[in-house]
Amino acid sequence: MSSLKSKAEQILNLADVKINGNRPWDIQVYNEDFYKKIFSGGSLSLGESYMDGWWDCKNLDEFFNKVLAARLDKKLKPWSLVFNVIKAKTLNMQNKSRSKEVAEKHYDLGNDFYKNVLDKKYMQYTCGYWKNAKNLDQAQKDKLELVCKKLNLKKTDKVLELGCGWGGFAEYAARKYGCHITAYNISEEQVKYARENCKGLPVEIIKSDYRNAKGTFDKVVSIGMCEHVGYKNYRTFMEVAYNCLKDNGLFLMHTIGGNTSVHSIDPWLGKYIFPNGMLPSVKQLAESFEGLFVMEDWHNFSAHYDKTLMAWFNNFDKNWDKIKLDHNERFYRIWKYYLLCCAGSFRARKNQLWQVVLSKGGVPGGYNSIR
């Protein structure tokens, strides 16, 4: 047995994971070069070796739950990570030109592809709310209703949405509450779909960067875009919302968050899924709105993202026969790895999901927290 394999076994034993074991979360290694690769390349090499078929696992989500709960990610920190941190600290990886990369590489994969993965009605690519839901469609509808209630939406409201995905929130809020939505998005495919889907409703979809938003609104909302803003731009993001919000208005931000402050994303996710993305921490967000907003409510329902990601994977897996007409087997392994490693990460409570409600000067008499 090689010394690297022995070292890998010792580390994995801390998470109750065995190499070539018979439990669903044990890994099966098919290429002995796997050990050298992961010790030199960390999480990037772990993902790439999975893409190449060097190893497999029956329940990837539970493998990652165990590995991350045991904090084994702290034991594999190659020098490549240092380069990523230096790059993130010296460059603005989410400036207007670079921010388009994630739209082109990820969100513009094709609307037909995402129809086979997401919920049927609202095409929500953010965490659903499973408190009373039994399926993905209901969880996403309940999430949208939760957002509307937290914002106390009224028919007379003018609402600014920063990053609108496929327009699901705009359609829901305009149709049910009758308010007017102005939404900004930089994804060509999403804008095309959202405009068609919201036709005939008081909704305006603008293909432009969130930093170009202008006007005065009763409410501002951002659902799942803060993950693409970047720590160098959090203050700008908050200032855009502040400058566009009326004095008595509310701003709701829905975002994935991390337990510690970082300056870059996991290298595998950054290379293959979300270029230039990163997760904010409580500290980073709080500092970004200090002196601008009053924090009225901070709701964490991160365990719901585990269920959402597993539902997305089940749809992806079930519809693979349709998806594979446009994508190869390597694409299948990339997306399986992505969805299930993220599910395991939320299950291990390494990642969080927050809905934060902010006001300019404080809601008179106090804000009524909705759950």
Catalytically annotated residues:
342
Cα–Cα distance for residue pair 76/53, rounded to 1 Å: 21
How wide is the angle at C-alpha 100 spanned by C-alphas 158 and 253, nearest 5°?
40
Cα–Cα distance for residue pair 277/224, rounded to 1 Å: 11
**In what side-by-side order are the strands of the sheet with 203-207?**
203-207, 180-185, 158-162, 217-223, 245-258, 351-359, 294-300
Cα–Cα distance for residue pair 53/29, rounded to 1 Å: 9
Name residues whose C-beta falls within 8 Å of residue 169's C-beta, 6 or more positions apart in sequence: 122, 144, 147, 161, 181, 221, 223
Contact 139, 130 (CB under 8 A): yes
CA 262 to chain centroid, in Å, comes to 16
One-letter amino acid for residue 296 of the chain: E
